[in-house]
Amino acid sequence: MLLGLLAACGHSRNTVTVYQNEGFEATETFSRLFDADVDATCEAARRALLSQGYLMTTVRRDYVSASKNFQPEGEVHVQIVFNVVCAPEGGAGRVATAYVNAIQDRYALKKNPNSASVGVAAIGSLSIPLAASSDSLVKVGSETIPAGPFYDRFFALMQRQLPEKAGQE
């Protein structure tokens, strides 16, 4: 009991408080204002993601979610999940903001050895070890991709996907 209590106390001192690094800087934005209504803005996001090989997982008039898988190394798998929320700005609804974040999950191949033995009663107590292994992907990391050039390229592609005069009737 005492050992467990000491381990718990030692663990709390090593805990990283990631929220302390949140700067909430106006220059590092996960959003962009578009001269189009909510429907056109989210449709532009959908088309931008489709053009880059993303698989749509959720599509609504004001929300799009999509994912894409990568295998940068033999036993490493990476998945990027994009989430786009489109919100109207102003009273006329002809301008919308797209709020975007992308999450990168890393997986590694883990080999799980399995072993078993067989006893054969007819010829005595004979045990033969049977070895087998199964492989599985285990999540080893997950992070939100930080704002910067990655999102700037996405917003530029979204802008190209908007029809001309999308916000006008």
- Sign of the torsion angle spanned by Cα atoms 81, 144, 107, 18: negative
Residue with tokens 């190394």: 73
pLDDT-above-90 percentage for the chain: 55
Neighbours of 62 (CB within 10 A): 14
**Taking the model in full, what pTM does it have?**
0.74
Least confident window among 1-10, 36-45, 62-71: 1-10
* Each residue's pLDDT tens digit, 44-54: 999 999 999 99
Pairwise CA distance, residues 93 & 100, whole Å: 19
Q: What is the CATH number of domain 26-108+139-161?
A: 3.30.310.80
Query: What's the Cα-to-Cα distance from 5 to each of 12, 13, 165, rounded to whole Å?
Result: 11, 13, 65
Q: How far is CA 152 from CA 97, 144, 157, 158, in A?
A: 14, 15, 9, 10
* pLDDT given for residue 92 in this prediction: 83
Q: Between these two residues, 169 and 90, which has the higher pLDDT value?
A: 90
Which tokens belong to 148?
A: 């910067």
Identify which of 18, 23, 48 has the alpha carbon closest to the alpha carbon of residue 143: 18
Tokens of 71: 């295998």
Note the pLDDT of residue 24. Answer: 78
Q: What is the mean pLDDT of residues 69-98?
A: 93
**What residue segments make up the domains of the chain, in order of their start?**
26-108+139-161
With beta carbons less than 8 A apart as the criterion, state whether 104 and 80 touch: yes
